[in-house]
Structure 1
Amino acid sequence: MKKLWIGFIALALFNACSPSNNKTALPILGNKTTETKTVNGKTVTDTVYQTIPAFKFVNQYGDTITNKSLDGKIYVADFFFTTCPSICPVMHRNMLNVYKEFKDDPNFRIISHTIDPKYDTVPVLKRHADKLGITGDTWWLLHGEKGDTYGIAKSYLQTVSEKNPKGEFIHDGFFILIDKQKRIRGTYEGTDAAEVTKMIGDIKILKAEPDQIAAK
């Protein structure tokens, strides 16, 4: 019996120290390719991951926001429209928890792209932000040309469309976590509070990764 207990204790210690129970890095999602180049006379093959391309939109304050506005920042992106009667209100109630957690971090942002730019003008987005209690620059609601918004959604691995047969806008309800190198590091169901809590934890893990600390 004593040997059996020693075995149990050893197994417990092994599981407690196992790397699988200590998450130190998030996966990198999306398409990837390999790139071969010569460095100091040696052939080196690197993995090149999918990144979010250049973009240009306008936020709720009327300020121009580009991909460069997010240089050196970890951010979360999503797609919505202000008159959405179903998932969007739930998504943004959950996103408020993310906003409150990181609103004092200058190296973190949230960007929400409207998929109904005809109705969701900049003044409408500002009223929506005020209703949510958003201030400052942590969370930007972005307006842009429909084609630009729908195009960038594909880079975030999201599906959006103008209207379904019932005349309604449709879109995925995910929050997408992006690192400082513009790579996708996680997707989370925005209507699921547990998923959003997990994302908050993953953001903290991402912030501690060496290449995120080093990136300015």
Structure 2
Amino acid sequence: MLLVPVLAFVFLYTFGANRYALPTFLPDRVDSTLVEGKWRRDTVFHRVADFQLASQSGRSISQKDLGDGLYIANFFYSTCPGACPQMNSQMARIQEKFRHEPRVKLVSYTVDPAHDSVAALGRYAEQFGAIAGKWFFLTGDKSAIYRLVTEEFRLPAPSGVAPGIVHSQNLYLVDRDKRVRGIYDGTKAKDVDRLMTEINVLLYTYDHNQ
């Protein structure tokens, strides 16, 4: 009897496999498909649509410029006094953690494009040590930003934080298929620690599930 738990451990250690599957967020609809004569219901999840916005260097950036890996997205405005600096300090932590991993990019969208010009974003990016080609601060047409925020990442319409400005403390983990795989509080270090762990989980699946 004493050998039973030992043998069970040896079996699981030798033949078992650890599984840690990330959830997928932002469902679009439920489809029904016929499989072997039986109807199966599958959730279809939203994919973030492409965009064309100007980066802090003045270069036009789309999702294609982010490569075939994953990216972390957040929304900010440069005159935000509280949450935005906290979020972008955490984004800087992520950048440093994955500095040498080309499949990980960071994208910060301004939600105040009238104020945050390319030049202003350049100065702001320097404050946080943004690495060129790694961390993109993006601005553009107000309607394009609004569509991206409310339709693609599905944040609620503006409400009193600042006139006409959509505000969020969230960081979004977007996988290589442009689906949102995690939503985190960007002002909390523990939540960002979890985000960095889950980035590693995705990278592991990309390496081992070709």
For Structure 1 versus Structure 2, the TM-score category normalised by the shorter chain is 0.7 to 0.9
Matched, 1:199 2:192: no
Q: Percent of aligned pairs with the same residue?
A: 29
User: In 2, distance between residues paired with 1:140 and 1:67?
Assistant: 11
Alignment of 1:113-152 (within 5 A): 113-152=109-148
Amino acid at match of 1:67: Q
Q: Give the 3-state SS of the residue equivalent to 1:75 in structure 2.
A: strand
Is the 8 Å Cα contact of residues 110 and 138 (structure 2) preserved in structure 1? yes
User: In 2, distance between residues paired with 1:112 and 1:165?
Assistant: 19
Which string of whole-angstrom CA distances, capped at 9 and with x for unpartnered residues, describes residues 153-181 of structure 1? 131232352x7287484511100000000
1:23: Cα distance to partner? Answer: 4.6
Tell me the equivalent position of 2:153.
156
1:151: Cα distance to partner? Answer: 1.1
1:202: Cα distance to partner? Answer: 0.4
1:149: Cα distance to partner? Answer: 1.0
User: Could you state the TM-score of these two structures normalised by the residue count of structure 1?
Assistant: 0.80
Matched, 1:93 2:71: no
Count the aligned residue pairs. Answer: 200
Return closer, same or farther for 1:100/1:34 CA change in 2, 3 Å cut-off: same
Is the 8 Å Cα contact of residues 177 and 187 (structure 1) preserved in structure 2? yes
Matched, 1:209 2:208: no
Gaps of 5+ in 1: none
- The one of 166, 174, 188 aligned to 2:170: 174
User: In 1, distance between residues paired with 2:161 and 2:205?
Assistant: 45
Alignment of 1:77-92 (within 5 A): 77-92=73-88
Is the 8 Å Cα contact of residues 71 and 106 (structure 2) preserved in structure 1? yes
1:24: Cα distance to partner? Answer: 2.5
User: In 2, distance between residues paired with 1:180 and 1:212?
Assistant: 15
User: In 1, distance between residues paired with 2:108 and 2:161?
Assistant: 25
User: In 2, distance between residues paired with 1:187 and 1:35?
Assistant: 27
User: In 1, distance between residues paired with 2:3 and 2:157?
Assistant: 54
**Structure 1, 150-159 or 98-107: larger mean CA deviation:** 150-159
Gaps of 5+ in 2: none
Matched, 1:187 2:180: no
Q: Give the 3-state SS of the residue equivalent to 1:171 in structure 2.
A: coil
1:8: Cα distance to partner? Answer: 11
Amino acid at match of 1:87: A
Is the 8 Å Cα contact of residues 32 and 41 (structure 2) preserved in structure 1? yes
Is the 8 Å Cα contact of residues 159 and 172 (structure 1) preserved in structure 2? no
Is the 8 Å Cα contact of residues 206 and 212 (structure 1) preserved in structure 2? no
User: In 1, distance between residues paired with 2:203 and 2:156?
Assistant: 28
1:54: Cα distance to partner? Answer: 1.8
Tell me the equivalent position of 1:34.
31
Is the 8 Å Cα contact of residues 161 and 167 (structure 2) preserved in structure 1? no
